[in-house]
Each structure stands twice: as C-alpha cells, then as structure tokens.
Structure 1
C-alpha cells in the first residue's frame, strides 16, 4: 500500500515564506487604485455631449468621478471579505491582503465603513443633481456579491451594467441629453471584457473558484466574445454618426475612428484568444503598447473634432 505523507501545507499554500507586513501598501491594495482607471476613462466621455464646458461642468464631473471611485473601493473591499476563503485557492487572488491574512476582516470592514462615510459626505455636499446611479451601483454590487455573481450570464451583465451607470451619472451631472447609443456601446464593451475574463478563468482555476463558470464553456465564451465585439463596434460608430454632437464633422470622425477602434478590438481578441490573457483586463489594456497607441489616436481624433465643433473659429486656422 502506497503511503502519501502530509506536506504540512494548507490547501492553496505554495510553500513560499510569508511576505513581510506592509500595512500601508496592503491597505492601499484593498481599494485597488489601478482600477480607478475604469471611472477616470468612462465618466468623462460625456464631456463630448455637455451643453458647455464651464468650471461647474468640470467640477460636477470631478464629483461624479470621485463618488464612483469611492463606491468602487467599497465594493472591492466587500468582495474581498466575502470571497476570502475561495480566493485562497486562486493562484493570483490568494495574494490579496484579506485572502493572504495580511489585513484582518475587522480592519477591512473598518476601512469600508470609513469609505462609505466619505461617500456619504461627497453625495451630500455634491452638486444639486440626481445621484441615484451611484447608489444603484452600490446596491447592485451588494446583490452581485450575495447572489448574482453565481448566476451564469447574469454575472457578466451585472458587471457591464455598472459601467453604464457610470456614464449615466456623468450625463445627469452635466445636465446633458443621454446618448442611448453610447450607453449600449459602453455596456457591450464592458461585457466583452468581462467575458474575456471568464474565458481566462475557465482555462485556469475553473468552477472551483467561481461557481458561475459551470454555466460557461470556452466555446460559448468565444461566441459571446465575437457577438459583443460586433455590437461594440456598431453601437460605438452609430453614436459618433448620430448621437454625438459633432456636426458637421460627425461622419468624418466616424471614418477616422474606425481603423484605430477596430485595431483595439482586434488586439484585445488576440490577447484573449491567442495569448490566453484577459484575466486582468484593466492592467492588460493599460500595459499593451498597441492598444495604447490606438487609444491615443482615438483620443486625438475625437479631441480635435470636439474642439472644432465647439469652437468653429479654429477651423479657419486649418489650411484648405
């Protein structure tokens, strides 16, 4: 009879020596500062449709960005506490402060309470505008953490809805007409990223870490990626052509934005389907040079178009 000796390790323990305590760094890691890019990139897109660029408009957008960053930080802490036992079996997430035991549940909960108090102060002292999207975002993520994250397809839809709420808060804050095509484009783009992450998880830890993955297969994820990629492209270009306040340059902007926009989507599909990436969409998108260059090209085209639209006198300085 073969005897298997115990290694003395807990499940999910790699045998590596525990990392030195870094209280400040661990508390900062709880709120995942890199993920603030989600809000910094998504909320300000409504500037293109703002009635006017005034200090009040910019201050309102800054308020919306700050409110969602605080709300997102609370959500991350809550998820880390709720998922700490499951995260210990994940090759990457087991290094998170709560899962690794470097930050106690009590300390994490106290940080969450402090952030919620700050969010309440921001909401109460903010501009006299509707702020229900940020509150809906918080409620939605409580439901996600408790129930929705375990329901296949609903889980990725909930994540994508959080991005649409960011855009909606921006529109309500600046008092602009909501651009429906842009909302759908942001929603579908977020779906694309979430599905890419699920596909990478299927190839890695599987349903042992995320029960909702039992409702997915790699083949299904591939089909959903293609569907959402097409939806993102069509709705984004439709927004530039119809919803965006870019006349008389809307058609030109659409044509100039098509190549870099398609490259960004193609490159992301390459990262997910060829390179096996997609596990950390924010970090991978920001670190990819090709996507960064194409994104910069998009920003330049849209920025110039918006300036020409709002300040027609600038068009006279362009040689014909």
Structure 2
C-alpha cells in the first residue's frame, strides 16, 4: 500500500479513496462548486443555476444605465417621462450584453482555463456545459430580437452593438487598440439608443466624453492585464497584449483622462445641457469629475488595480463618495430648476 510520503516524492500515483468519498479531496477533474460536496456522480443542487447566473454577469448590468444619462440631463426639470421611454432600451442592452458575455466565454474557454482568475469562469471551469451555454445564448438573442421588433428605430443601436460584439468575441478583441475602441463604441451606442428612445437631442460633446472615459477605463484594464499575469506570457491569455507596453498604456490613459475632462466641461457649456445655472453646474461638478479621474489613475498607476473597472467604480469608497456628491448636486439643481 502506497504511503503519503511516497506520493509526495512522485514515486507512486495518487491514493485511491473509498467509493463513498468519505475522506480526501474530490478528484482533480471535477471542479468543486460552492454548495456542492464534490463527490463523483452526486448532483450539485443549484450549482448549474448559479453558474448560469454568473455567466451573464449581473454585476456588469449597471453599466447599461448610461442609456438613461441623456434623458436625465437633457430633459429639463421633469426628466422622468423621458427616462421611462428609455427603460425598454435599457432592458434590451441588458439582454444584448448578457448574450455577448456568453459568446465571449464560449470563444475564450480554452484560454480562460490557463488564466489564474478566468479559469473560474462558469464555462472554463465546467460549471456550465458548453451545450447549455449555447442554448442560453440562443435564448437571449431570440429575446433581444423580439424586444427589438417592439422598440422601433431605437433598437438599431442595440442590434449594431450585438453584431459588433459577436465580431469582437471572435476577431476584433485580438487586434490591439481596436479592441478598446470597440468597447468604447458600445457605450456610445448605448447613449444614442437612450436619446433616440426618449426623443432628446444627442450631444456630440457628451458622446466624446463617454467615448474618452471608456477609452481611459479600457486601456487601464489592458495595463492591469499586462502587469498582473504571472508565469505564462500575458499574450497567451489575450493575444492583443502583444502589441501593448506599459509606457504606451500609461500615455493613453493620461491622454484619455485629459480629453474626458475637456469634453465634459464643453458639454456643460453646450445647449444640450438643459436648464439654467450653467456656470453653477460647471463650478459644482467639474471638480468632482476631475477628482474621480484622479482617483482612478491613483488606483491604476499607484495601487496597480483597475482590472475590473465596474467593480472598482462600485466598490471603492472614495469613488462612491464622489458619485454620491455628484448625484446630490444634480438632484438639488433639478429641484431648484423645477421651482
């Protein structure tokens, strides 16, 4: 009978556990899921449902709320009817982005298995079988098409987003710089769809602001990926990283941060920013915007964070405080304008 010391020295194979699995870890080829015992052949209740939920990444859904920004900002003292008109488009983008995550994880499952973090994704880890993921993606796309038929012209940006991101998952994500620009364009499409649904003007300055801040976050994420992967070369996990370098990405995030501030101030000065008290809006919100960007750059360049921009924006206490102050100021201005 082999001993544990012989196994550790590599002289014999792994020990065989009793059929009931009463002792020892589960076999290596069976990834253990939260809530499951890991025993061979034992159904893991709820593990597939949890895997499907993780696959569509609900923690990423809040970023689709950018659909509502122009209806809020460009509708004067009573923006709520415009916001209500834009809500169906928000739902469509949730469906489209969820379907995109499924397609992306299907396309990347082999690379994800070699990544220290992404190997825990539902498809790469085996928590969601490939056929089940394909069915889920098909259902999401069918729901998107059905909803788009009822949304009219405002659904066109959503469909463009869906098609572009299928190309992104298989081709465009492997082309440096283009990969980040495609992601940023997706947010511009969200803004356009929300404005079209609410019948409010589309501000070119606001589109530039959204595009540049997404470029900032996108290049920041690439920088984190380039510097965080240990062991294997980072380009094995994302081929586009071959054409990136830390100095180049540092330059791009600095450039994008500058453009974002200039575009935001220009938007506040434009006619597209509804209501009066233009100078007061600039004086109150510009310092908060600059501070938020400075804080993100600090997280990215000093703390070596920023790998998940959505998590950073919604978990960093400083970011949350700045966002709360901005929303409070915006709400007060709306209240004053309505008097």
Q: TM-score, normalised by structure 1?
A: 0.89
Structure 1 residue corresponding to 2:196, chosen from 147, 167, 172? 172
Task: State the match for 2:64 in structure 1.
Answer: 39
What's the offset of the Cα at 1:300? 1.6
Q: Equivalences for 1:68-107 in 2 at 5 Å?
A: 68-107=93-132
1:296 aligns to 2:321 (yes or no): no
| Distance in 2 (alpha carbons) for counterparts of 1:26 and 1:7 | 36
Please identify the structure whose Cα radius of gyration is greater: 2
- Quote the Cα distance in structure 2 between the aligned partners of 1:230 and 1:280: 21
Q: 1:194 to 1:243 in 2, by over 3 A?
A: farther
Whole-angstrom distance in 1 between the partners of 2:247 and 2:298: 16
Paired with 2:191 and 2:289, the residues of 1 have a C-alpha distance of: 19
- Pair 1:227 & 2:252 matched: no
**Correspondence for 2:170 among 143, 146, 152:** 146
- Structure 2 counterpart of 1:283: 311
Listed one character per residue, the Cα deviations across residues 151-175 of structure 1 (whole Å, up to 9, x for unaligned) are: 1111100000001100010011111
Runs of 4+ in 1 over 4 A off after TM superposition: 4-9, 14-17, 51-56
Distance in 2 of aligned mates of 1:286 and 1:165? 22
Matched position secondary structure for 1:125: helix
The Cα shift of 1:178 comes to 0.6
Consecutive unaligned residues in structure 1, runs of 5 or more: 315-320
Match of 1:318 in 2: none
The Cα of 1:61 is off from its aligned counterpart by 1.2
What is the alpha-carbon distance in structure 2 between the residues aligned to residue 7 and residue 131 of structure 1?
Answer: 62
Question: What are the superposed Cα offsets for residues 266-318 of structure 1, whole Å, 9 maximum, x if unpaired?
Answer: 11001100111111110111000100010111112222223433x2xx2xxxx
Counterpart of 2:270 in 1: which secondary structure?
helix
Quick one: structure 1 residues 287 and 105, their matched pair in 2 at CA, closer, same or farther if it must change by over 3 Å?
same
- 1:317 is matched with none
Which residue does the alignment assign to 2:90? Answer: 65
- The counterpart of 1:18, out of the listed 24, 32, 50, is 32
SS of the equivalent of 1:244 reads coil
For 1:259 and 1:24, the matched residues in 2 are separated by 44
Q: Deviations over 1:182-205 (max 9, x none)?
A: 101001111111111100011123
- What secondary structure, in the 3-state scheme, does the structure 1 residue paired with 2:125 have? coil
Match of 2:186 among 162, 180, 185: 162
Cα distance in 1 for residues equivalent to 2:210 and 2:201: 16
Q: Distance in 1 between matches of 2:321 and 2:331?
A: 15
Classify 1:37/1:54 alpha carbon distance in 2 versus 1 (closer, same or farther; 3 Å): closer
Higher mean C-alpha displacement, 55-64 vs 97-106: 55-64
How many residues align? The count is 303
For 1:118, the equivalent position in structure 2 comes to 143
2:44 matches 1:30: no
